[in-house]
Amino acid sequence: MYQLSSVDKKFPGVHALKAIDFHIKRGEIVGLVGENGAGKSTLMKVIYGAYQPDGGQILIDGKPVHFANPRQAMKRGIGMVFQEQSLIPNLTVMENIFLGYEAQFTRLGVVNWKAMAAAARKQLAKVKLDIDPATVTSALSFAQRQLVELAKVLTLEERVEGDLVILLDEPTSVLSEDEVKLLFKLVRELTSRASFIFVSHRMDEVMELSDRIYVMKDGQVMDVVARAEADASAIQHKMVGRHVDREYYREQRQKPYDRSRKLFEMRDVVLPGRPHKLNLTLHPGEVLCLVGTEGSGREAILRTIYGMLAPLSGHFEMKGEALRGFNPRRSVAMGVGYVPRERKIEGIVAGMNVYENMTLSQLGRYSKAGVIDVGREKALARDWISKLSIKAHSEFADCGNLSGGNQQKVVLSKWRSGGSDIMLLDHPTRGLDIGAKEDVYDMIRDMSDDGTGIVLVADTLEEAIGLSHTIVVLKDGEIRQRFDCQPGAKPSLYDLLHHMI
């Protein structure tokens, strides 16, 4: 039905897509996996019309088509569900659903809100979402927004004669486990009306949902695997060109931590908006993983430790000192480092180079009376570039132009070079390809060995289980369960889920 025939795409200096052949059948769910830089996003952009191929053909029902922009692709039934927050927050749900296609409800440019609301309700019903279409989008939860996003794409059904192809780009990244289940159920139901291309970094999800899986590497399709014969490690092998074995999470490097000392201790701490008392302790060398659904209170704890949030009551001791004033400066001064989830926004400063980013948190140490010693900064940067094999042409490289994994290495070296011994990692592997993920896992073990205590909010449960010494399961702001995770005696996924939901 929809087909790409030896499609080529070149950018200055990069051959992004090399003779890609791709097809999708009516009602099929096709998975698309590959490391970052493998060409997935370029391929998606070609499919939904944002890029025009340099060679090859796009065929719909066997006939060649050409899309100059996404709108033309939409006219032929190709829609895109973007990763996170691609709805405009200050508009209402219905406006977002029909953005760019208001014409059907307008006469002389005047909008008939009643008609639009009715139509929006119809779309929302398709995704089983029962909300008022006049709700402002910013008031919705992440999961609701994802469904609205899907409802928006499904308007193609009414507008387009032929078949629909819907791209789902990392649709699960902000969803909790049960929300993911609901979404998958919905997608399967919707195959009666549309075909789906599903892109995700989460191999388990891709394998669960997809009928066939395209594996990409270096701008090429390495393999097409049918669900029946799909095998996670085989696929990962094809993606990275090597095996991802049990040592993926570096469990063999997990060593017992020092229980005699405490880096910080929370006793009966109550956070704003939550009634529960929290008790947490971090020891040197310990990886403490906070597990819970979105909104379970993991972030609030991280933010409290980092000093961005002040507890209402309770006792919070850091390195033997009771904390009263809470602010990031103080925390940083006490050796707390923070690797934020929004790497591009909070992690690195795009537009500044590597050494400028690395010393941003420790300018006091590299300056005298406010004057920076740039020579020492550069030396530091060169040192860490080689230590972590950061792929940057030099310490002068703009961090905005580095790949996600290298950006994360810069962020990590920013804190490690500053001697932080309490590291807060918020989704440190989000959006990274497998190779880069492994680098991050190695760095976590390295830090552990150095006696750094790590509080981790992991991207997946497997990651949490694999990496941690201790797992704390949170639900609705309350600590539900603690697990001790010695290598070989780790809790199972089920153990965790049981307490999360």
Partner 1 sequence: MKLTRENVIRWAPALVLLGLVVLFAAINPAFLSQRNLARIALASTPAMMVALGVTFIIVMGSIDLSMEGVVSLCAVLFCLLFLRLGGSLGAGAWLAIPAILLCGAFFGWLTGMVHVRLQIPSFMASLAMGFVGTGAAVLVTGGDIVRIEDDVFRALLTWRILGFPLMVYIAAALVLLAWFIQNHTTLGRNFYAVGGGEELAHASGVNVRRVRLAGFALAGVFYAIAAIFQVARLGQAESVTGANLMFVAITSVVVGGVALWGGIGGVLNAVVGVLIVNVIGNGMVVIGLPNYLQDGLLGVLVIIAVVLSTDRRLVSFAK
Partner 2 sequence: MTMQRIKPHLPWITLLVLTAVVGVVDPNFLRPANLLSLAGDIVPLFIMALGLTFAIYIGGIDLSVQSMANMITVIASIYLASLGAWVAVLCIAAGFGLGMLSGFLTTRLFVPSFISTLAVGGVCFSVAQWLSGNRALNMDAEQRNATFGWMIGHTGIVPNELFLAAALLALCLFIERRTVLGRVLKAVGAGEPAAKASGINVGRYKMLAFAISGALAAIAGLLFSVKLSGGAPTIANGFLLPAIVAVLVGGTPLTGGVGGVLNTLIGTLIVAVIRASMLYLGIEATQQQMLFGLVLIAAIALTIDRSKLRTVK
Q: Judged by CB under 8 A, does residue 197 bind partner 1?
A: no
Residue (94 or 424) nearer to partner 2, CB:
424
Minimum distance, C-beta of residue 392 to partner 2, in the bound complex (Å): 17
Residue (151 or 235) nearer to partner 1, CB:
151
With contact defined as beta carbons under 8 Å apart, do 163 and 190 qualify? no
356 binds, among partner 1, partner 2, none (CB under 5 to 8 A by kind): partner 2
Q: Which stretch binds partner 1 (CB under 8 A): 58-66, 97-105, 357-365, 476-484?
A: 97-105
Please compute, for residue 135, the number of CA atoms within 13 A of its CA located in the half-sphere on the CB side: 17
Distance between CA 371 and CA 363 in Å, rounded? 9
Find the DSSP H helices in 48-92. 70-75
List residues near partner 2 by CB under 8 A.
12, 328-329, 331-333, 336, 338, 340, 342, 345-352, 356, 359-361, 363-364, 367, 370-372, 374, 414
**DSSP string over 312-345:** SEEEEEETTEE--S--HHHHHHTTEEEE-S-III
Nearest to 159 by CA among 273, 274, 71: 71
296 C-beta neighbours (distance < 10 Å), count: 20
349 binds, among partner 1, partner 2, none (CB under 5 to 8 A by kind): partner 2
Site string for partner 1, 104-133 (x = CB under 8 A): --x--xxx-x--------------------
Per DSSP bridges, beta strands 220-226 and 371-372 are unpaired
101 binds, among partner 1, partner 2, none (CB under 5 to 8 A by kind): partner 1
Minimum distance, C-beta of residue 17 to partner 2, in the bound complex (Å): 22
Distance between CA 492 and CA 501 in Å, rounded? 15
Minimum distance, C-beta of residue 278 to partner 2, in the bound complex (Å): 23
Per DSSP bridges, beta strands 55-60 and 63-65 are antiparallel
Amino acid at 220: Q
Q: Judged by CB under 8 A, does residue 99 bind partner 1?
A: yes
Residues 6+ apart with CB under 8 A from 204: 232, 460, 462
Backbone angles phi, psi at 165, to 5 degrees: -125, 125
91 binds, among partner 2, partner 1, none (CB under 5 to 8 A by kind): partner 1
Distance between CA 87 and CA 67 in Å, rounded? 23
Nearest to 164 by CA among 55, 81, 100, 46: 81
> What is the size of the binding site for partner 1 (CB under 8 A)?
24
259 binds, among partner 1, partner 2, none (CB under 5 to 8 A by kind): none
Q: Judged by CB under 8 A, does residue 87 bind partner 1?
A: yes
70 binds, among partner 2, partner 1, none (CB under 5 to 8 A by kind): partner 1
Residues 31-50 interacting with partner 1 (rule: CB under 8 A): 50
Residue of 11, 52, 66, 89 interacting with partner 1 (CB under 8 A): 89
Distance between CA 234 and CA 70 in Å, rounded? 35
For the chain, counts of helices (H) and of strands (E): 17, 24
Q: Judged by CB under 8 A, does residue 60 bind partner 1?
A: no
Residue of 14, 55, 61, 88 interacting with partner 1 (CB under 8 A): 88
Nearest to 44 by CA among 11, 84, 82: 82
Minimum distance, C-beta of residue 12 to partner 1, in the bound complex (Å): 20
444 binds, among partner 1, partner 2, none (CB under 5 to 8 A by kind): none
Minimum distance, C-beta of residue 26 to partner 2, in the bound complex (Å): 39
340 binds, among partner 2, partner 1, none (CB under 5 to 8 A by kind): partner 2
Report the interface residues with partner 1, using CB under 8 A: 50, 70-71, 74, 80, 82, 86-91, 95, 99-103, 106, 109-111, 113, 152
